[in-house]
């Protein structure tokens, strides 16, 4: 794409280059690494741009810092306000604290405790309001007018978009022969900035967006040629939980993004688990959508160099624990079953002998003598066992049934 065509967009390469000089003292240049394991799984040369290792655990500090640095002294004296599910909140809070600016952040009531406390820890005043980002955003606009604060939009702002676009500059520096760049899409600030930076220098590089299926407004918006809101915005990729993007970001996405795919909640959860187990890296849902699309075969470029932007790593620990347990069960690594035994000595041992012979490891075991409908002198035993996959589970269950046990899974 010719530079002249890019000049009509909300931001240009020069804006992103200026943003990089402006924010460089305050942010990290994050690592970009090849994953040989993902190459074996997908047939593509997969590189990860680890923005989860950025300050605050997310790319959002880039845009927030650039925005506040461009404010006049009078504007900084008024203070800033933002709405965010968490990562933009932390970016604004830290940027404001670093530059000595008062910050107010409105977060949805369902924002994770980790993100709320982290934002508060950076010195921002927290207001919890609404069920999602869109409702928090409306509240933030009310507070902005009441207190005469400067609004720092999470995505629909040229300075924010330019700040996020500095990731694109770093990708081309570290991987100049990249073929495809993949980014998650919420409001669109990240992919808009990256696409502008990449297309201005390497027009042949494809930029692909990924959205959660349950909140995917972009595919229908691109088809309609105008922004169309999705009906829902509840997704485990909470950083992408936006019903509708911005007019400025949509203009860039409409012109520069080569395609968009969607992923299910199950595919996102699986990708989080793969990051943890295969890459030894903690990634939140929004940061895992690119890998989710790749693993699900929704992005296929055999032999090509693909850079996945891992946008953040701020995931709730309790939620991560639930994903691990669910992922292990789906992968056949954990089997939960129950049997009814005679409530007498030796019965449990007979059961466990069969489990041991199948080379399965018991993780948890519970007795339930009081289940309604259970005969007297009987006990229901619930077992959670570690297994090696679906075939191993079938082998264990077959052994139990051969021994006369009636097994429920």
> Could you tell me which residues come within 8 angstroms of residue 160 by beta carbon, excluding any fewer than 6 positions away?
63, 64, 66, 67, 152, 153, 154, 189
pLDDT band per the 50, 70, 90 thresholds, residue 5:
very low
pLDDT score of 359 more than 60 = yes
Closest among 127, 146, 124 to 135, alpha carbons compared? 127
Question: Can you tell me the mean pLDDT for 125-132?
Answer: 92
Question: What are the pLDDT digits (tens) for 131-169?
Answer: 877 789 999 999 999 999 999 999 999 999 999 999 999
Residue ranges of domains in the chain: 3-58+157-326, 60-151, 332-408
As a whole number of angstroms, the distance between CA 42 and CA 34 comes to 13
pLDDT for the residue numbered 113? 83
As a whole number of angstroms, the distance between CA 50 and CA 33 comes to 8
In the block, residue with structure tokens 């899409």 = 185
Q: Where are the alpha helices (DSSP H) in 296-344?
A: 317-330
Question: Can you tell me the mean pLDDT for 226-240?
Answer: 88
Question: Can you tell me the mean pLDDT for 106-123?
Answer: 90
pLDDT score of 3 more than 70 = no
**CATH for the 332-408 domain, from 3.30.70.260, 3.10.20.30, 3.40.50.11260, 3.30.1490.100:** 3.30.70.260
pLDDT score of 112 more than 90 = no
Ranges of beta strands (E only) in 185-325 are 206-212, 259-263, 305-310
From its phi and psi, is residue 43 left (phi > 0), alpha (psi between -120 and 50) or beta? Answer: left
CATH code of the region 60-151: 3.40.50.1100
- Which residues, in sequence order, are bridge partners of residue 103? 80
Mean pLDDT lowest among 2-6, 15-19, 47-51: 2-6
pLDDT score of 4 more than 50 = no
As a whole number of angstroms, the distance between CA 270 and CA 124 comes to 34
pLDDT score of 2 more than 60 = no
Question: Can you tell me the mean pLDDT for 310-315?
Answer: 95
pLDDT for the residue numbered 386? 94
As a whole number of angstroms, the distance between CA 56 and CA 147 comes to 27
* Cα–Cα distances in angstroms (integers) from residue 14 to residues 93, 163, 189, in the given order: 27, 12, 17
Do residues 90 and 312 touch, judged by C-beta distance below 8 A?
A: no
pLDDT score of 293 more than 60 = yes
Mean pLDDT lowest among 98-107, 170-179, 315-324, 347-356: 315-324
pLDDT band per the 50, 70, 90 thresholds, residue 8:
confident
pLDDT for the residue numbered 73? 97
In degrees and rounded to multiples of 5, residue 369 shows phi and psi of: -90, -5
Question: What are the pLDDT digits (tens) for 246-274?
Answer: 999 999 999 999 999 999 999 999 999 99
Do residues 253 and 245 touch, judged by C-beta distance below 8 A?
A: yes
As a whole number of angstroms, the distance between CA 305 and CA 274 comes to 20
As a whole number of angstroms, the distance between CA 285 and CA 133 comes to 16
As a whole number of angstroms, the distance between CA 139 and CA 146 comes to 11
pLDDT band per the 50, 70, 90 thresholds, residue 234:
confident
Instruction: Give yes or no on whether 3-58+157-326 and 332-408 have one common fold.
Output: no
CA atoms in the 13 A half-sphere facing the CB of 253:
35
Question: Can you tell me the mean pLDDT for 170-180?
Answer: 98
pLDDT score of 373 more than 80 = no
Whole-number percent of the chain with pLDDT over 90? 79
pLDDT for the residue numbered 111? 83
CATH code of the region 3-58+157-326: 3.40.50.1100
pLDDT band per the 50, 70, 90 thresholds, residue 1:
very low
pLDDT for the residue numbered 318? 87
pLDDT for the residue numbered 326? 80
Question: Can you tell me the mean pLDDT for 217-227?
Answer: 94
């Amino acid at each position: 794409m010719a530079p002249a065509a890019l000049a009509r967009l909300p931001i240009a390469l020069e804006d992103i280059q200026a943003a990089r000089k402006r924010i460089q003292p305050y942010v990290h240049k994050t690592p970009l690494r090849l994953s040989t394991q993902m190459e074996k799984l997908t047939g593509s040369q997969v590189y990860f741009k680890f923005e989860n290792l950025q300050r605050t655990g997310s790319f959002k500090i880039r845009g927030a810092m650039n925005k506040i640095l461009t404010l006049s002294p009078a504007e900084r004296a008024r203070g800033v306000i933002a709405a965010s599910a968490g990562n933009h909140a932390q970016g604004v809070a830290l940027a404001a604290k670093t530059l000595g600016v008062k910050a107010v952040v409105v977060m949805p009531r369902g924002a994770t405790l980790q993100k709320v406390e982290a934002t508060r820890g950076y010195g921002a005043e927290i207001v919890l309001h609404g069920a999602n980002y869109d409702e928090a955003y409306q509240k933030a606009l009310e507070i902005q007018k009441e207190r005469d604060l400067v609004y720092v939009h999470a995505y629909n702002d040229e300075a924010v978009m330019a700040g996020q676009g500095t990731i694109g500059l770093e990708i081309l520096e570290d991987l100049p022969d990249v073929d495809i760049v993949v980014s998650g899409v919420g409001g669109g600030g990240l992919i808009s900035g990256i696409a502008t930076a990449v297309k201005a220098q390497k027009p042949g590089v494809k930029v692909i967006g990924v959205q959660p299926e349950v909140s995917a407004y972009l595919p229908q918006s691109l088809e309609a040629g105008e922004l169309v809101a999705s009906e829902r915005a509840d997704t485990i990729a909470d950083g992408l939980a936006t019903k509708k993007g911005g007019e400025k970001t949509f203009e860039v996405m409409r012109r520069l993004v080569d395609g968009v795919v969607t992923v299910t909640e199950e595919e996102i959860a699986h990708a989080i688990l793969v990051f943890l187990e295969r890459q030894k890296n903690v990634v939140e849902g929004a940061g895992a959508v690119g890998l989710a699309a790749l693993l699900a075969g929704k992005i296929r470029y055999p032999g090509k160099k693909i850079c996945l932007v891992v946008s953040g790593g701020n995931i709730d620990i309790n939620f991560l624990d639930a994903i691990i347990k669910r992922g292990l069960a789906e992968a056949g690594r954990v089997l939960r079953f129950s049997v009814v035994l005679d409530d007498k000595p030796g019965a449990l041992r007979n059961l466990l002998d069969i489990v041991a012979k199948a080379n399965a490891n018991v993780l948890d075991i519970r007795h339930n003598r009081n289940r309604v409908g259970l005969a007297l002198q009987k006990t229901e035993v619930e077992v959670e066992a570690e297994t090696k996959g679906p075939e191993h589970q079938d082998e264990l269950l077959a052994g139990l049934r051969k021994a006369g046990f009636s097994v429920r899974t």
